[in-house]
Amino acid sequence: MLAWTIYISFIGVLVLMLLPRDDARAARIVALLTAIASCVVAFVGAIQQANPGEVTTIVKVPWIPSIGASYYLAADGISLVLVVLTGLAAVTGILFSWNIEKRTKEFFAFYLALIGGVYGVFLSFDVLLLFVFYELTIIPKYFLIARWGSTRKEYGAMKLALYSFVGSHLVLIGLIAAWVVARAQTGHASLDLLELSKISFPLGFQHWVFPLVFIGFGILAGLWPFHTWAPTGHVAAPTAGSMLLAGVVMKLGAYGCLRVAMVLFPEGVRMWQNEIALLAVIGIVYGAGVALVQKDFKFVIGYSSVSHMGFVLLGLATLNSIGLSGAVLQMFSHGIIAGLLFAVVGRMVYDRTHTRDFNDLQTMQLGKLLPFAGVTFVLAGVASMGLPGFSGFVAELQVLMGAWQVFPKSTILAGVGIVVGVAYILRAWQKAFYSDAVVPAKSGHDHPLEPISMPERIGAVILLAATLVIGIFPGLLLNWIQPCLNSPLSMFARLLNGGPQ
């Protein structure tokens, strides 16, 4: 059933391509219906899955027998969490793109192609298939930004595309090498993730191949110092583009780190655990620090994404159950919260004021002009700071608890990052919405801002509700994540239990 999330998205792309050239309204409606349909399928499929702790096969047919590749879609609890996140991000992204008038049909076609690819990555249990979907997302990302973006869009788009491509090629080198070594060891070719996860690769091999694959995926997860695509890409992207980039595309990287790099090379992770944690913590503190001094509203959120993704990577590096489950929960939580923040900045503010510079925004009294945007940003900001009651709290707390057991010093530094996180949100909050700067009586700028539209309100409410529900009942997702990690038969068992099996 869950496979239909992928198919529906690509059917949507085809339908959009067949629509008449300039019918924007039809394109929007088709896109929204497609996204809702795939989101409903994602929810129903996820709830129906009886045992989230096990890998449940959806479809498995041979694809290229000579190299052992199969068309193997399956899901365990971690996939379910991310598939549901993708569903939510897809629907709300379209709601916040309701005002796209230029080449609407092409915009949504690329958008849905990207979504389809993302669903595919989260559901693939064949390494080659996962890689196919992973690379499939690069092209729509590039065109969405280069065509419909703003500030230095062609530069941002090309940078993102090249970083992604270089990253995925590092992964490809690692995969080919691992495939050859595994074939030499077992005597038959296989690209099945579950089969590969049972193979013990030689230690010397894991020592160099793990960092290659981890960094390859990590580039897309905003791993410091390979994160520089993220702020420029986020800023250049159209609102829905940044929502998807921060919301799900960065998760693709983190998911790949966990599902491929770490599962295949558990000894490699142990060898490089400290270095990963160090990079993650630098990312947390650096991202937060840089966000604190930005003049551009969107760059604040862009760097905050780097900082929050640092928690995901730190959680992965802990190699204990609580840290890993925190990392997965943080993927979900950051996907929702970052989506909301970008929606406020890009759609609610920038599309109306045409500026993101704090100096200009300060004079506009947006808190009074756009009260809905102000309140949404306050709530999203509070969620982003990690206040109890919102999803970010549970996730970051788990990551820190996990990290405390392994690297106490880094954990303290990460805590500093959280404090800085409070500061940059408060600063943005005050400068953009509730500044008491005196309003200069400008004659040219007195036309009223267009009120917040219904699609925007619905989108904001959906995302706020998601972060609140998970904040109050984290068990809803943890019941999916934890059985996956704790089951002695799962693919993560080697990773958590320590030592070669």
Partner 1 sequence: MNYFQIIQLAAPETIVVVTVLAVLAMDLIALRGRSVEQRFNAGALVSIIGCLLAALVAMARHESFNLMNGLLVVDPQTDFLKVVLLILTIFTVLISVSGKFTEHVGEYLSLVLLATIGLMFLVSSEDILMIFISLEMASLSLYILTAFNKRNARSSEAALKYFLFGGMSAAFLLFGLSLIYGLSGSTNLSEIATGLAGKGLDPLLLVAIVTTVIGFGFKVAAVPFHLWAPDAYEGAPTPSAAFIASGSKVASFFILAKIMTFGFAGVEGSAVWHGYVSGWMPVIAIVAALSMVLGNLTAIVQTSVKRLLAYSAIAHAGYMLLGVLANTPASLSGLLFYVITYALTVLGAFGVVTVVEAATGGDAIRNFAGLSRRAPLMSLCLLVFLLSLGGIPPLAGFIGKFFLFSAVVGADADHLGLLWLVILAIVMSAVSFYYYLQVLKQAYVLDAAAGAPDIKVPPATLFALVLLALLVILLGCAPGLLTQFL
Residues at the contact surface with partner 1, assessed by CB under 8 A: 64-67, 106, 128, 131-132, 135-136, 138-139, 142-143, 146-147, 154, 158, 161-162, 165-166, 169, 172-173, 176-177, 179-181, 183-184
Name the residue nearer to partner 1 (CB basis): 20 or 499. 20
Q: Taking the complex as a whole, how short is the minimal distance between the CB of residue 98 and partner 1, in angstroms?
A: 23
Q: Taking the complex as a whole, how short is the minimal distance between the CB of residue 208 and partner 1, in angstroms?
A: 10
CA 70-76-78 angle, to 5 degrees, is 115
Q: Are 251 and 82 in contact (CB under 8 A)?
A: yes
The residue behind tokens 């609407």 is: 104
Name the residue nearer to partner 1 (CB basis): 202 or 475. 202
Q: Are 221 and 253 in contact (CB under 8 A)?
A: yes
Name the residue nearer to partner 1 (CB basis): 44 or 180. 180
Name the residue nearer to partner 1 (CB basis): 177 or 462. 177
The two three-digit tokens of residue 92, written as one number:
């709300």
Residue 195: its H or E element: helix 193-196
Beta strands in 200-308, from DSSP E residues, in sequence order? none
Name the residue nearer to partner 1 (CB basis): 219 or 284. 219
Q: Taking the complex as a whole, how short is the minimal distance between the CB of residue 154 and partner 1, in angstroms?
A: 7
Name the residue nearer to partner 1 (CB basis): 172 or 397. 172
Q: Are 294 and 303 in contact (CB under 8 A)?
A: yes
Residues 6+ apart with CB under 8 A from 6: 73, 116, 119, 120, 123
Q: Are 87 and 335 in contact (CB under 8 A)?
A: no
The two three-digit tokens of residue 147, written as one number:
């065509």
Q: Taking the complex as a whole, how short is the minimal distance between the CB of residue 317 and partner 1, in angstroms?
A: 26
Q: How many residues does the chain have?
A: 501
**Collapsed DSSP state (helix, strand, coil) of residue 283:** helix
Residue 482: its H or E element: helix 475-486
Q: Taking the complex as a whole, how short is the minimal distance between the CB of residue 282 and partner 1, in angstroms?
A: 26
Name the residue nearer to partner 1 (CB basis): 146 or 292. 146
The two three-digit tokens of residue 295, written as one number:
């003049």
d(CA 181, CA 380): 47
Q: Are 39 and 119 in contact (CB under 8 A)?
A: no
449 CB-contact burial (10 Å; exposed 0-12 / middle 13-18 / buried 19+): middle
d(CA 6, CA 128): 17
Q: Taking the complex as a whole, how short is the minimal distance between the CB of residue 203 and partner 1, in angstroms?
A: 15
Name the residue nearer to partner 1 (CB basis): 136 or 387. 136
Q: Taking the complex as a whole, how short is the minimal distance between the CB of residue 143 and partner 1, in angstroms?
A: 6
Q: Taking the complex as a whole, how short is the minimal distance between the CB of residue 236 and partner 1, in angstroms?
A: 12
Exposure of 411 in the CB half-sphere (CA atoms within 13 A): 17
Name the residue nearer to partner 1 (CB basis): 43 or 165. 165
Q: Taking the complex as a whole, how short is the minimal distance between the CB of residue 80 and partner 1, in angstroms?
A: 25
Q: Are 190 and 178 in contact (CB under 8 A)?
A: no
Name the residue nearer to partner 1 (CB basis): 62 or 388. 62
Q: Taking the complex as a whole, how short is the minimal distance between the CB of residue 110 and partner 1, in angstroms?
A: 9
The two three-digit tokens of residue 493, written as one number:
């068992």
